[in-house]
Copies of this chain bind each other. A is one copy, B any other.
Amino acid sequence: MSVIYGRVALIGLGLIAGSMAHAARRAGAAGEIVGTARSPETRAIAEEIGLCDRIVETAAEAVKDADLVVLAVPVGVMGRVAAEIAPHLAEGATVTDVGSVKKHVIDAVAPHMPHGVHFIPGHPLAGTEHSGPRSGFAELFDNRWCLLVPDEATDAGALDRLSRFWRALGSNVETMEADHHDLVLAVTSHTPHLIAYTMVGVADDLRRVTDSEVIKFSAAGFRDFTRIAASDPTMWRDVFLTNKEATLEILGRFTEELFALQRAIRTGDGQLLHDYFTRTRAIRRGIIEAGQDTDAPDFGRVKRG
């Protein structure tokens, strides 16, 4: 238990900030945790469940004397929040964020940051399909990756301190360049989410296949898509609007590939399909070996006899 930041301000109290509060307490990494959210209802719930040491009404108030400020709001409002807190930031404070897109956040936030404040963008690769102040839990970041996006001007001491904080919360930490981050995430997260949303939307639209049948017989694969497609709509809208270029590029590759497989189905090219499906198995093995998932069948939802 060693305090890394005397006062941590969490702006926005959803799944990520809530989990950060739980994990920081577990580690004793923060002297005091101050939280705020735009919605009075969210603040009331956070107050009720004791999520932070102190809940305040505005972001400006929250960042007062904070050593670390975490912007945990949808990517689309990061700029507005940065403008709001800028005049109230303490000299030497570190400001970070947890947005799923980095280039846009840097463009929106960096111009507002006063001299003497360390702005180090970040992105913890962790989440669930749940959202809101009650959804957080201390283990969310355990053995997951947190990507930090410093630039040449970033203070080495401030970067090291933020890295230690994320490690105390359970994460592995790595640094990455903003454009590369946005491309990697377009592949591993943004495009898969859009596809899952689409597939679930298609099922919902089909009138001949009634809702109850889709739901009843979902265990055959569709079910895993619905978990992904149950994620927070505002957060994901902003991700797609702000990582437009990389997402559209990967989507283009995806449809190209999908059309090739579709054509193989139409022409009855079993060899192509079999080869393709064999190749994708290897990636799964890599993920299990990297400790990023369980090999238990069906994610361990069922037990072996």
Contact = CB atoms under 8 A, between A and B. Distances in A.
A195 interface: yes
Main secondary structure of the interface of A (DSSP, over half): helix
A283 B126 contact: no
Q: How many copies does the complex hold?
A: 2
B215 A297 contact: no
Interface string A171-194: 000000000000111011111111
Interface stretch (A4-12, A87-95, A105-113, A255-263): A255-263
Interface in A194-226: 194-206, 208-209, 211-226
Contacts of A183: 208-209
Given A215-B292, A217-B184, A218-B292, A233 B281 contact: yes
A301 to B, nearest CB: 6
Interface in A50-108: 76, 100
Contact of A188 (B147, B218, B293): B218
Contacts of A236: 273, 277
A280 B229 CA distance: 6
A210 B257 CA distance: 18
A214 B202 contact: no
20 contacts: A125-B219, A137-B297, A140-B302, A147-B217, A188-B218, A193-B221, A198-B254, A198-B261, A201-B279, A202-B250, A214-B283, A215-B292, A219-B292, A227-B284, A229-B280, A229-B283, A230-B281, A230-B284, A237-B277, A251-B262
